[in-house]
Amino acid sequence: MSSGFIKTKDGTEIYFKDWGSKDAQPIVFHHGWPLSADDWDAQMLFFLANGYRVVAHDRRGHGRSSQVDTNNTMDQYAADASVVVEHLDLRNAVHIGHSTGGGEVARYVARYGQPQGRVAKAVLVSSVPPLMLKTASNPGGTPIEVFDGFRKALAGNRAQFYRDVASGPFYGFNRPDAKVSQGIIDNWWRQGMMGGALAQYEGIKAFSETDQTEDLKAITVPTLVTQGDDDQIVPYEDAALLQAKLLKNATLKIYKGFPHGMLTTHADVINPDLLAFVKA
């Protein structure tokens, strides 16, 4: 089956795509907030063309998955990912996560994939771990007022908020020299509006307040950590640089001037680098 739905223990239907030879090494993609598996189109087509099996799912409450009103937490995101992996019986897999999806990858690998012996490598792209929120023990984090602003904007006018994020900081389209793509903006907005407002609202807490320090410490498989130094959504000093320090087997690559959504705007650069890491 090239796509379909899997039902979790709490009755949530998770949509997934599964393309390519079932004998090929699987690459599993975990999307960012508030998007869907469609955000990985450029990577899935690229890796499929290079002979891999590619799998991606819509997080609960996002995309085509059930618009649930419960369990919108990082713990459950990782558990849902494991349901997909176990259903498809994926082994020797490389898990690649972007932003919130990077948090999902870290928790999945630490709690499920690595103990089950299903994971070969991991990739964290512009990802939220170890902790986005500014706290006494994480002074370089983002103040709670920023996330409260996200919640207020989403509740007040989600459609406009998503236009503003996509046309501004997410892809760096607010920079003076940016090459703005209306198609990219429209696609981001489309994906966001497909999902449920409640799940996305609660997802803000999940991606910003979940401390994943111990997840990173527990991961032993080779892990590529990569981010742009002009990321206006997840500051790289409090994300990629700390991830690389906490992981036991990390490779760090920082891209000068690249934005948070660099997988889309700079796929021509990022994709070959991801492939090189997978093949190494």
φ/ψ of residue 8, rounded to 5:
-85, 175
Residue 252 and residue 111: Cα distance in Å, rounded?
23
Query: 172: phi > 0 → left, psi -120 to 50 → alpha, else beta; which?
Result: left
For 260, the enclosing helix (H) or strand (E) is none
Scanning the structure block, which residue is given the tokens 């690595």? 114
Q: Which two tokens stand for residue 199?
A: 């799940």
Catalytic center residues: 99, 231, 260
Measured on CA atoms in the order 81, 82, 84, 88, is the torsion positive or negative?
positive
CA distances from 16 to 19, 45, 233, 268 (A): 10, 15, 26, 25
- The length of the chain, given as a count of residues: 280
The helix (H) or strand (E) run that includes residue 185 is helix 182-194
